[in-house]
Amino acid sequence: MEQQDSRRDRRLIAAFDFDGTLTTKDTLFEFLLFYFPLSRLAAGFALLSPMLLLYKLKVISNNEAKERLFRYFFNGTEINGFNQKCREFAAGIEKLLRPEAIAKLKWHQESGHQLVIISASPENWILPWAGQYGVKVLATKLEVVNGHITGKFLTNNCYGGEKVVRLLSEFPDRGNYGLYAYGDSNGDKELLAAADFKFYRSF
């Protein structure tokens, strides 16, 4: 009985994937559409198509493909201007949200659970949105040198097993808390496997 009570009284953490889970679309692609004219995007993706094919064929990793894409579009971009565009984009994220996902997020908040978003997208446009909900963000960090984006990632792309690595780095002693996890893709399977309560494309 004491052991059961101890488990019931543990703190609870709710970890949400962002793209496709809290939102209906991939926010990286939506951000590119927001940031660049369509003609610039079309030209860029045409040039990157051989690399994207290698990714689809699993010749190169998700991390490498995403970093190459980001380097092509943003290498040399001034970080302050970039972050301003991220804030402007974040202000419009509400229209991309899944109502049932946000209802569940708010339920966890009202229940006193600690919330965290774990995402492969850069943190730059997730943080401004998450701040209004008081939600912690563990996401991909961009390398910045002398005030400019290099196009490289400062951390590993927060995808797949890296999501669990980042979670345990922030919340060690896994046996001391219960974990809810919400995801929608293969990039979330390791996080879901690590959870006590897992929700795949459901809430």
Supply the CATH number for residue 159's domain: 3.40.50.1000
Q: Between residues 34 and 3, which one has the greater pLDDT?
A: 34
Q: Which domain holds residue 112?
A: 2-200
pLDDT tens by residue, 99-138: 999 999 999 999 999 999 999 999 999 999 999 999 999 9
C-alpha to C-alpha distance for 10 and 109, rounded to whole angstroms: 16
58's tokens? 């699993």
Residue 147 φ/ψ region, left for φ over 0, alpha for ψ in the -120 to 50 degree band, beta for the rest: left
Secondary structure of the chain in HEC code, one letter for each residue: CHHHHHHHCCEEEEEECCCCCCECCCHHHHHHHHHCCHHHHHHHHHHHHHHHHHHHCCCCCHHHHHHHHHHHHHCCCEHHHHHHHHHHHHCCHHHHECHHHHHHHHHHHHCCCEEEEEEEEEHHHHHHHHHCCCCEEEEECEEEECCEEEEEECCCCCCCHHHHHHHHHHCCCHHHEEEEEEECCHHHHHHHHHCCEEEECCC
**Total structural domains within the chain:** 1
β-pairing verdict for 148-153 and 197-200? unpaired
Identify the pLDDT of residue 8: 58
pTM over 0.85: yes
The 10 Å Cβ neighbour count of residue 175 is: 7
181-200 residue pLDDT tens: 999 999 999 999 999 999 99
Torsion of CA 63, 69, 71, 76, to 10 degrees: -140
Give per-residue pLDDT as tens, 166-180: 999 999 999 999 999
